[in-house]
Structure 1
Amino acid sequence: MKLASLSYSLLALSLVTAGCKKEKEESVAEKVPGYDISSLDSTFKACDDFDSYANGGWKKKNPIPGTESRWGAFGILDKENKEVRLKGIIEEITNKKDRKKGSEEQQIADYYQSYLDSATIEKRGLEPLKPYLDKIESVQSLKDLASVTGELQKLGVSAVLGFGVEGDLRNSKMNVLYQGQDGLSLGEKSYYERTDSSTLNVRKEFVKHVDKMFGFASFKDPNPGKTILDFETKLAKIQLTNVELRDPVKTYNKMSTKEFQNLIPDFDLKTFADKQDIKTDTLIVQNIPYLKNLNTLLKATPLATLKLYTRWQLLSQFAGFLPKNFDQENFNFFSKVIRGTKQQRARTERAIRSTDGLLGMPLGKLFSAKYFPEEDKKKVSEMIENVRTVYGERIDKLTWMSDSTKARAHKKLKAFTYKIGYPDKWKDYSSIDIKSDKLFENVVAASLYQHKESVEKIGKPVDKDEWGMTPQTVNAYYNPLNNEVAFPAGILQPPFYNRDADDAINYGGIIAVIGHEFTHGFDDQGSQFDEEGNLKNWWTASDRSNFDKLTKKYIDYFSGIEALPGFKINGALTIGENVADLGGLTLAYYALEKSLKGKPEPALIDGFNWKQRFFLGWAQVWHMNTTDAALQNQIQTDPHAPAKDRINGPLPHLKEFQNAWNCGAGSKMALPEVARVVIW
């Protein structure tokens, strides 16, 4: 099941597993300061470049480790969690004897051991792939290709189209099958179209990468890298951009399976679906023209090229679980070239992350029991309700929205539900057969379990208790189909939530995060869903027009920011996250102000008043050093703006920031009233 979730998270998930609390039985932990003033760089002015002012000192002291492409609050929590907390849990389990077959402890311990058993991995070579390679080699027609690629989809191997299962956008209580475009090794079509030197170099290195991988595999195809790049370039040309994919109306095309099959008659979609055990009469198609153009492309492409492409997708998908030369070359391209990471993590660290990736929920159950105090759940619930109250007050004060639409906005806000910490019920993973000496088969077993779980949901009611993240994840999300926000245990710690910090720091951190997720329910996408999670208009035409004008102004603003020479932020791609940041900051600021009413003015801390510390709290959440390669990749593929611009971007639109730091007219961090964007 290849389609991405429709949920909107705080940060791209490639960075965000992390964090945990001290055990109650441990000695009292050293208190973390709300804001460490050594993070400041007073050579910068707060009103000129707030990120450099608030985080310049931190950036100088925290260069990017060789194993990372980005280094900030998320990565630091990730490192602490994985290399200390989860490692401790895993090692404790592996030291136990007589683990029951099928138990979560047995699965975790044996998978971890299978990943560490590099001697067996080297000895087996490509033997685990042979049954699948033989099937690809036996392909004699497009119908055969549909059969083989359908089977490979169950293992997570990409094809030119993919399926996913989620709630129906227009009937959110029921799960439905979605179909979408797929199959680009570089992830996004701009990598195949841009002609700047950096992108040209990525394509050049990609060709070398494929050639090396085929050489390691002793495949004899001539110029495989060029062949695959040429095919994927043609594939990219007929796909929607990542901005176009943001439109839930344009990408919602419900039809019968027969109508779907007729869109691409030369590729046997029925066999493709049957091989994935998919049984349904209807589905939602993402891009109808893509399927028609894909049919033409497949017919015009030599079968030998399609088979070569399929072998490549198989090899690339499992490269990290194969002998060292494959694993290392996979790292060299996708981490070193694409993201600027200098060195691969040690095998032990990768084993921890791989175990977390495949068995994250069983690990999350142990993590939650050990490190997440129940009092934090109560505290976060109170925070969420405070944000809900302030959001309602902000809606009432809007001048661009009519009373009738305000009433519907209140209805949606009231219907918001939330998840905190970890699931109330846990899934049964005992059917996954994990062996201590069969890494490849373990990955396949976990993939087949996930696939089976997914297809069995088709046509059944949505389980609203299900989580979209593991408890140890340092992130949060809003799911428009459930109209819910979720805050895993991993994010409920410094610098996001610090029980030892003053309120201003926490409001600039975790409260702004809560406000961010709430605002996703009313961003350019979330605002198209009603209180029940259905894609349904609840706006008057004039109110929607007013909203669109405001978001267009904000799109243009961010599109003018050059994050790297020749690479400007894509304001249309990042608009949802940018609106959520602006809303989150606004809600958090006024929630803090509301909490202080009737109380004495808080004392200065380190020379800063509570208004200033609120914004310092926001800045330290996003302090980050990033390689140029990772920044380029983020600009082209990620709906989140770079960290620096998540700090500096929204602040000039907030008169509250200008007043807190006494920014005079003409300051870089203060816009004139007419240029400011105020949405919620």
Structure 2
Amino acid sequence: MLSLPRLLLLCSLSFLLACSPQENVQTDQGPMPAVQPGSEELGSGLERDNMNTAIAPGDDFYRYVNGNWLEDTAIPADRSNYGAFTVLADEAETDLRSIIEEAAAEDAAIGSDAQKVGDFYTSFMNQDVIERLGINPLQETLAQLDAVSNRQDMLEVMTALNYIGVQMPFSFYINVDERQTDQYIAYVFQSGLGLPDRDWYLQDDETYLEARQAYSAYIEEVMTLAGFNNGAVVADAVMQIENRIAQAQWDRVQNRQRELTYNKLSLDDLQQLSPALDWSAAMQGLGMFSDEYIIQQPDYFSALSTIWSEVALAQWQHYSRFKLVNAYADYLSQDFVDAKFTFEGGVLSGLEENRPRWKRGIDAVDSALGEMLGKLYVERYFQEEAKARMDELIENLRGAFNEGIDDLDWMTAQTKLEAQDKLARFTAKIGYPEEWKDYSGLEVSANDLVGNVMRSRRLEHNREVSKLGQPIDRGEWYMTPYTVNAYYNPSMNEVVFPAAILQPPFFNVSADDAVNYGGIGAVIGHEFSHGFDDQGRKSDGDGMLRDWWTEADAEAFAERSGALVEQFNQFEVLPGRFLNGEFTLGENIGDLSGLEVAYRAYRLSLNGEEAPVIDGFTGDQRFFMGWAQVWRRLYRDENLEVRITSDPHSHSEARTNGIVRNIDAWYEAFNIQPDAALYLAPDERVKIW
């Protein structure tokens, strides 16, 4: 799950939904069941064929629940990882294919949803046209780079390239000002690297050295394909610039610290901080005319000033040429597609083959017309009853979380009141937006793929910058309805659950409550908990970045979260490669507290009675097994290597075993004894919320 990191705002699709804040639930009459009365007549919801009962649950709960599936399942050749999320994503993709191909077959009116969806897909599938055009769709833009004669021109062209989705050494997104939540502001942040993280440039172990060599070879190959006789020179320029940028960038742990990345500067202050670049021209070139900006990594921008002035103009031209070609390689002729796949798909992800063209075509439509496509998806596939039942579950979880705060023995009454006020102000969005994004300004042609992509990216860029100076749109979404995921947005204090996640194994309307509370219930609890994790706790119920904790409570929180960091630091993901417990802390708190509050809500839903035994398992056992089966997943080693340095989530084994071993009820449910491999003594178990 996602806690909506700030970078996600830049690349996610935006949605509009009018949703009122929920009131704090009252539990004096007992919460309603999540599914329906008579749960003894429902199935367990457990996928028992996936289990390996030869493994003791206390030794490896993840493989006890998922062991046979892990042994019998192969990762598809075009996937870097494969699990429960992927299966649902594949199903959604098949549904989208039906919608899109029907639209492509229609003789739809120009400007209609069907015309735009269908023609965008047709332009991607029209390989004859794409092969004939080759690099030609980029020649006009490449010529603009050729014409650059000074650094001011270079900056102007770079900002113009950003409009069409081309990477440069800095970028921005528009979001609510976290210290003035009634207005939008631009957040400006470090960017410009082609490898997954700065560590891939700074560390010299074999994996990173090979990746740098492969990246350089890819740059040379793709620029040679683009008609440059000096591909090796371009590669050398790009690598030199990116190495210097990497040395100046903040690491992933620093970038998680919300108070450190909030630095409001006037345009004059930014100019003093980074004097070699004309920031007034840069911001205006990006379509922003504000006087204040949030500069997330100030010392990076100070270093960038030096890099900008010391790197030769010709090298910046080479860098930008490559960034342009790389940004559009997926939409050019097959030789460009193959070159990019060999590096990004093969070297970085371990893929054996590229995804079929129709799947990549769906991705292209999704990137450009995500909400238009989402509207068609919801109309055809979403069941409204799932939304109503999610409302019940969310209120049950809210009530359980509220009671859990009351029961905390380490938090003072003053901070508890603040926490409960924040919880009461959470807004929940379920399924899909009630209002849909406007694409009327987008022209789509069945024979102009690159043009379609460029026009789409310009439209979205303008949509973002047009927010500045406007009232806050609290109905905006950052995921499409067919996305199998969920998120918490701290600046809006909201939890969001797209339609596609409301399916088994997360949410099963035919299953007993236990597995649903262990699945979607824990997902809800996870997103709630992000409002109170190590970063979410830094804002209040209005989304304001404000320290509402007493010093003693903050110290107690740090002690508990520090113990969780140490536990997860011990997980060896690959030989010699361990999780970074500080980097994954927010997600680990979300998992641990989410499962705790979901369990509390489940027990409250029973109204003092015991759940029936179904398929030989008690209700408590089914609850924890519901959590474990959600996380079954296989990974390629290359994918794990990237995740360790760039993904704030722990891998699935840790998200299962590393969480349940901290929960007393799991020990009781499965009679876990001190000689079990996962056993933690009671005083070593971490409880935060």
Question: If the length of structure 1 is used for normalisation, what is the TM-score?
Answer: 0.94
Aligned CA distance change for structure 1 residues 275 and 451 (closer, same or farther; 3 Å): same
1:191 equivalent in structure 2: 200
Whether the 8 Å CA contact 2:12–2:478 is kept in 1: the answer is no
1:650 partner SS: helix
Whether the 8 Å CA contact 1:8–1:477 is kept in 2: the answer is no
Q: C-alpha deviations, 1:51-102, integer Å up to 9, x for none?
A: 111101111222100010100011111111112x1111112222222x1222
2:207 partner SS: helix
Quick one: distance in 2 between partners of 1:44 and 1:8?
39
- For the pair 1:606 / 2:644, whether they are aligned, the reply is no
Percent identity for Structure 1 against Structure 2: 38
1:543 equivalent in structure 2: 553
Quick one: distance in 2 between partners of 1:620 and 1:236?
39
Quick one: distance in 1 between partners of 2:393 and 2:290?
42
Q: CA deviation at 1:169?
A: 0.8
Which of 215, 219, 241 matches 2:224? Answer: 215
- For the pair 1:255 / 2:269, whether they are aligned, the reply is no
1:283 partner SS: strand
Quick one: distance in 2 between partners of 1:174 and 1:668?
52
Whether the 8 Å CA contact 1:7–1:478 is kept in 2: the answer is no
1:154 equivalent in structure 2: 163
2:58 equivalent in structure 1: 47
- For the pair 1:399 / 2:409, whether they are aligned, the reply is yes
Mind listing any 5+ residue stretches in structure 1 that lack a counterpart?
15-30
1:92 equivalent in structure 2: 102
Whether the 8 Å CA contact 1:655–1:670 is kept in 2: the answer is no
- For the pair 1:36 / 2:29, whether they are aligned, the reply is no
1:571 equivalent in structure 2: 581
1:676 equivalent in structure 2: 685
1:127 equivalent in structure 2: 136
1:432 partner SS: coil
- For the pair 1:663 / 2:662, whether they are aligned, the reply is no
Aligned CA distance change for structure 1 residues 440 and 8 (closer, same or farther; 3 Å): closer
2:583 partner SS: helix
1:369 equivalent in structure 2: 379
Whether the 8 Å CA contact 2:45–2:511 is kept in 1: the answer is yes
Which of 654, 658, 683 matches 1:649? Answer: 658
Whether the 8 Å CA contact 2:526–2:595 is kept in 1: the answer is yes
Whether the 8 Å CA contact 1:320–1:330 is kept in 2: the answer is yes
Quick one: distance in 1 between partners of 2:665 and 2:208?
40
| Paired AA for residue 669 in structure 1 | L
2:348 partner SS: helix
Q: RMSD value over aligned CA atoms? A: 1.7
Whether the 8 Å CA contact 1:7–1:477 is kept in 2: the answer is no
Q: CA deviation at 1:231?
A: 1.9
Quick one: distance in 2 between partners of 1:173 and 1:488?
26
Quick one: distance in 1 between partners of 2:406 and 2:356?
54
Whether the 8 Å CA contact 2:130–2:333 is kept in 1: the answer is yes
2:235 equivalent in structure 1: 225
Quick one: distance in 1 between partners of 2:656 and 2:467?
40
2:605 equivalent in structure 1: 595
Give matches, 1:414-563, under 5 Å: 414-563=424-573
Which of 119, 123, 127 matches 1:110? Answer: 119
Deviates more, 1:256-265 or 1:509-518: 256-265
Q: CA deviation at 1:194?
A: 2.0
Question: If the length of structure 2 is used for normalisation, what is the TM-score?
Answer: 0.93
1:653 partner SS: coil
Q: CA deviation at 1:301?
A: 1.1
1:250 partner SS: coil
Count of aligned positions: 656
| Paired AA for residue 555 in structure 1 | V
Quick one: distance in 2 between partners of 1:476 and 1:32?
26
1:260 partner SS: helix
2:20 equivalent in structure 1: none
Which of 153, 170, 179 matches 1:170? Answer: 179
Aligned CA distance change for structure 1 residues 598 and 249 (closer, same or farther; 3 Å): closer
Quick one: distance in 2 between partners of 1:643 and 1:194?
26
Whether the 8 Å CA contact 1:32–1:494 is kept in 2: the answer is no
Q: C-alpha deviations, 1:254-311, integer Å up to 9, x for none?
A: 1111221232222222222222221111111111111111111121212111111111
Mind listing any 5+ residue stretches in structure 2 that lack a counterpart?
14-41
Aligned CA distance change for structure 1 residues 154 and 5 (closer, same or farther; 3 Å): farther
Deviates more, 1:459-468 or 1:213-222: 213-222
Q: CA deviation at 1:629?
A: 0.4
Whether the 8 Å CA contact 2:44–2:622 is kept in 1: the answer is no
1:649 partner SS: helix
Give matches, 1:264-343, under 5 Å: 264-343=274-353
